[in-house]
Structures are given as C-alpha cells and as structure tokens.
Structure 1
Amino acid sequence: MEPLGTARTDAYLRRLGAARPARPTAASLRELHLCHLRAVPFENLSIHLGENLVLTRDAVFDKIVTAGRGGICYELNAGFAELLGALGHRVELLQARVYGKDGAPGVPYDHLALRVDGRWLADVGFGDHTAHPLDLDEPGEQKDPAGVFLVRPARRDGEGGGDLEVLHDGVPVYRLETRPRGLADFRTGAWWHRTSPESGFTKGPVCSRLTGDGGRITLRDHTLITTSADGDRTEEELATDEEVRAAYRTRFGIVLDRLPVPLHPRP
C-alpha cells in the first residue's frame, strides 16, 4: 500500500496543528502523538447516528481530516498509522483485548494499537490513556501525565505466550498480541462494537479529547465533564439539544445537524 501523498499528509498535519518533522524520530513521534490526542477526539457518534464504521484508508482519512471528526480506536489509530508511515516511520497494527471490570479480556480484535519503529507502543484511540507512546523495551514502570504505566509479558494461560499486558496505575488495561495485522482484520471487531448490546460503545454517545493544559473534556450524552490536569472534575448538565450541538461545535469542532441517539441505552 502506498503511503499518503504529500498533499494528504500536509492536510493531516494541519488537522493536528503540527509541523512536518524534518525526519522521523522518537521525539517527533512523541509530539505528534500528543497533538493527535488534543486535536482529534475519541468519539463513537457514528454508532448512534446510524453511520457505518468503514475501515479503509480513504474512509478514515475523509472522516478525520476532511470532515473534521474523530472516531474509535480502529479509525483513530489507523489514520495515525497512515500519517506516521508517510513521515517515514515503520508502523505495525496490533490487536488487543481490553480487560473488563470482571478481569476477563474482551472479544478478539477488541482494540487496535500501533507498534512504531519496532519499539514504541502508540495509541491515540483509547480515550483516557497515555499522552505519550510507551517504550516496549522498558521493563519497568513508565511515568506519563496520565499516570504510571507498565508493559509486561502476559501471564501464560494458554492464550499466546508472546502476548503483552499494558497496566495503568497497577491495573491491567489490555492484552496486546505482538503479531502484526492488517486493517481488514479488525472489521469484525468494529462490527461487534457498532452493533452488540454487550459493547460499551452502543450504550450512549461519548466524545472526549485532551486539552492543551493537560486536562480532558468529555461530552457524554447531555453531560459535559471537565477534568483538570490535577484531577479536579466538574460536570454540567446541558438542558437543551441546541446546547449539546453547541458543545460539540465549540469544544470538539464537530458540527451536527441532528443529535446521536443511544443505540442500546443503559437500563
């Protein structure tokens, strides 16, 4: 597959508010990762607007760059992978299974993450997660603005001895398979998350991004949640549909002509 052309790469960089790096380095990857999290929201609005999740390079580019939207992991990390590849990084798509509250891993192809240049775990599609890529060669804890992370070999329980576990503040977050995959491999996982009543994504709309001061802003249905860099949290209930549309527009740059409706509302 040919990388993004120069014009599309420049358009993607403008979407991030980022300059083109002189060459692909760990430092430039770190900066682009942070810019992506600040500029492109994690959002599942397509699920609640009746839109398909189309996993092709053109569809992902058009949604993120042309339409100014965000997406879920499959879309965000696929788009970021294309950008990084065009800038000279070596990028591999990895599948992960997210641990539930019961401690059990989710369905296969539950999540898409990236291995960059054989060393860095980049993930701009997991919502409230790392601000910077994690070093897969580091056996100890790694400090990040979002907390303390650890990448360790997964427990050998018959589900693949080469898997890795990613922990956040001591809690396992997801189990990462190290075998590279193609984007088409994730279509079944995307379909499940778009349709299943068991998927958390079908319970209601959510839109979230990092802010420039290290905090986070999230719109969950009609509730606007602001979290500061030091963890202070405020919630505001938006009373009208117009207030919700205005919040999408002013806080996330997303213009909607109608509001998303929960596909499988929580009871």
Structure 2
Amino acid sequence: MDVDAYLDRIGADRPAAPSAEALRELQARHLATVPFENLSVHLREPVELAEDALFDKVVRRRRGGFCYELNGLFAALLRELGFEVTLLSARVWNGERYGPPFDHMALRVDLPEPWLADVGFGRFARYPVRLDSREPQQDPEGEVVVSETPQGDLDVRHAGRPAYRLEQRPRELRDFAPTCWWQATSPESHFTTGLLCSLQAPGGRITLAGDKLIETVDGERVERVLVGEEILTAYRVRFGIELNEAPAPGSFPAPGPRPFPN
C-alpha cells in the first residue's frame, strides 16, 4: 500500500507512533473526506473485497464506498501504520430488531485500551469509542453508550438509539464477501433500492439521495431536488467524485448462487 497517497487522500499526517490521539485524528479526517456511498451498486461496478482493489477505488479514483470497503481499507492503513486491528462483524438495528451477522463491519483497535473505530456507518461517532467503558461517551455527532449482552456481544447505542450489536470474535476480510455480494445484488437490500452518497461537513452533514440534496448544518435541514447536470456537479463539487454519468436506481434481478471466497 502507498501509505503516503492514502494519507494525502484524507488530508492526514503520518503519526509518529500508534496512539489514541493518532487514531482519533485519522478517523476524523477519513470521515470528513471519504464519502459513504453505494454508487458502484447502481453503476453496475463490481464491489471487490481485496485491499488492492479497494485502494484503487478509494485512493486513486477518489471514490467512497460502504462499510466493507471503507472499514476494510481503513484497517489496512492502520496496520501499515503499526496499529493492532481486528475486523468485527456487527448486526445493524433496523428499527425493530438486529439484522443478520456480517450486516456491518467495524474495527477493534488495541492500544493500551481497546477502541471501536468505524468510518463506514454513515452518520455515526466522529471519534473512536472506548470498548471497555460502560459509561456514556460524548461525541460531536451524539453520545455513544456501549453495553455487554448476556451472550458476550456488545450493544452500541448512538444519539439515544441502537446502532448495532457487535460480535467480539475476530474476522477476516474475506468472511464478509458473501454478505457484501448480497447487499450489492439482492432486490431486498436497501443498497439496491436506494442511491446514497453522504459525507460529514462542518457543523453537520451533506447527503445526495438519488436526486435530492440534503444539507444539515447545526441541526437545520435543507432539501433541494437537483435536475440534469446539477447532479453530476454535486457529486464533483460536494463529494469530490468525478462521474461520466449520474447513477440511477434500477431494477435488480434475483441474485444467483452466492459466491463464497476461497
């Protein structure tokens, strides 16, 4: 991996050594520069969970991605910088119940204390979260609370609501490939039914959902429908993404046989 190119992509300096302060800065810079987006799904681009393919997409082509891509690549960067990183599977809260395993990928980073790092969940904590603390943890994006379940998993709440249930068993990047494929191809996946590009912004967040531009600053939300070239301009100017054509949500056939990694 070209670490310097990755750091330049997110506007961060190379830390002298792994530390909580360095992790905090890297996560904040990543969230402010690399969008959470599912454009590949609607552009019919392959979503490949391999570090070289992820590096090409996020760093060289200056794109974003969803959780498996963003946290998978961020984990690789952290390891190159000397951090001890573990990939963890999480079950996302859907408003009624927790979803299936591998619904989300998050990272455990072990320093003198364990931290939860996550650059791939859309709106979430700006800074890493202590995994060994059961006290409310303050964050500019909303308070985070971690609690342990009777089964030994960790429930993560953000801004007063459940976010996801985190397993503590270590995983490998390839373990997420079948669920990543399902998320990118199934007509039942919210990634195939909705088009999204979202990025933290000063004082809030900016999101392009299909043709609707949503800006939230200091709690005030403004929406505007874009037409024609305005959509491509918004991708370029607001998210730094150069596209030849604007992606559009389409119909997806039922997925074929599920590919399992070797």
TM-score normalized by the length of structure 2? 0.93
**Aligned residues of 2:141 and 2:159 also touching (Cα < 8 A):** no
Amino acid at match of 1:259: A
Counterpart of 1:236? 224
Structure 1 Cα separation of the partners of residues 177 and 250 of structure 2? 19
Identity in percent: 54
**Aligned residues of 1:204 and 1:261 also touching (Cα < 8 A):** no
From 28, 31, 39, the counterpart of 1:37: 31
**Aligned residues of 2:137 and 2:143 also touching (Cα < 8 A):** yes
From 121, 140, 148, the counterpart of 1:153: 148
From 18, 26, 31, the counterpart of 1:24: 18
Structure 2 Cα separation of the partners of residues 218 and 50 of structure 1? 21
Counterpart of 2:71? 77
From 235, 244, 252, the counterpart of 1:248: 235
Counterpart of 1:227? 216
**Aligned residues of 2:32 and 2:200 also touching (Cα < 8 A):** yes
Deviation at 1:52, TM superposition (A): 1.3
From 95, 99, 106, the counterpart of 2:99: 106
Deviation at 1:137, TM superposition (A): 1.5
CA-atom RMSD in angstroms: 1.2
Structure 1 Cα separation of the partners of residues 83 and 240 of structure 2? 29
Counterpart of 1:187? 177
- In structure 1, runs of 5+ residues without a counterpart are none
Show CA shifts across 1:155-192 (max 9, x none): x4xxxx12110011332111100011000000011011
Q: How does 1:33-182 map to 2 (within 5 A)?
A: 33-102=27-96, 104-117=97-110, 119-154=114-149, 156=150, 161-182=151-172
**Aligned residues of 1:47 and 1:263 also touching (Cα < 8 A):** no
Which one is further off, 40-49 or 165-174? 165-174
Give the paired residue count.
250
Counterpart of 2:260? none
Show CA shifts across 1:70-89 (max 9, x none): 00000000111011111110
Amino acid at match of 2:224: E
TM-score normalized by the length of structure 1? 0.91
Amino acid at match of 1:214: G
Deviation at 1:200, TM superposition (A): 1.1
Show CA shifts across 1:75-127 (max 9, x none): 0001110111111100000000101122x211221100000016000000000
**Aligned residues of 1:204 and 1:264 also touching (Cα < 8 A):** no
Amino acid at match of 1:196: S
Structure 2 Cα separation of the partners of residues 204 and 172 of structure 1? 22
Amino acid at match of 1:117: D
Amino acid at match of 1:207: C
- In structure 2, runs of 5+ residues without a counterpart are 253-262
SS of residue matched to 2:138: strand
Deviation at 1:264, TM superposition (A): 4.3
SS of residue matched to 1:144: coil
Deviation at 1:12, TM superposition (A): 0.1
